[in-house]
């Protein structure tokens, strides 16, 4: 991936969208939810294709991680979340529960 593009989460999301990773997800009530279809996914239903970690340019404690995902039903998309001090602990625990065999990153 182009190093210049990889410096910004938004630009990297756009690059993955060009490759077909168009679904967007949100975390709700212990599941990852497809924003458009409202389908809910448990950790066993998620495959991590790649992950990219970012540190804020103006504030190094502004940390985020971009997950590139595929689901058991073939949907492909991304999920961006804060980590470190700004992390949603429930969402972080969700990603820890994804089976190791489902992590292709």
Instruction: Read off the pLDDT of residues 9-68 as tens digits, 9 standing for 90 and up.
Output: 888 999 999 999 999 999 999 999 999 999 999 999 999 999 998 776 555 556 888 999
Q: What share of the chain is helix, strand, coil (3-state, %, to 5)?
A: 30, 40, 35
Look up the pTM and report it: 0.83
pLDDT higher than 90, residue 97: yes
Q: Which helix (H) or strand (E) holds 66?
A: strand 63-71
φ, ψ at 54 (rounded to 5°) = -130, 145
- Residue 39: predicted pLDDT: 97
């Amino acid at each position: 991936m182009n190093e210049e593009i990889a410096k910004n989460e938004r630009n990297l999301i756009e690059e993955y969208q060009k490759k077909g990773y168009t679904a967007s997800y949100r975390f709700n009530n212990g599941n990852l939810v497809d924003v458009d279809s409202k389908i809910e996914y448990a950790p066993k239903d998620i495959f991590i294709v790649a992950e990219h970690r970012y540190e804020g340019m103006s504030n190094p404690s502004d940390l985020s991680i971009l997950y590139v995902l595929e689901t058991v039903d073939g949907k492909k998309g991304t999920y961006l979340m804060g980590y470190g001090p700004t992390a949603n602990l429930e969402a972080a625990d969700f990603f820890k529960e994804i089976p190791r065999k489902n992590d292709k990153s």
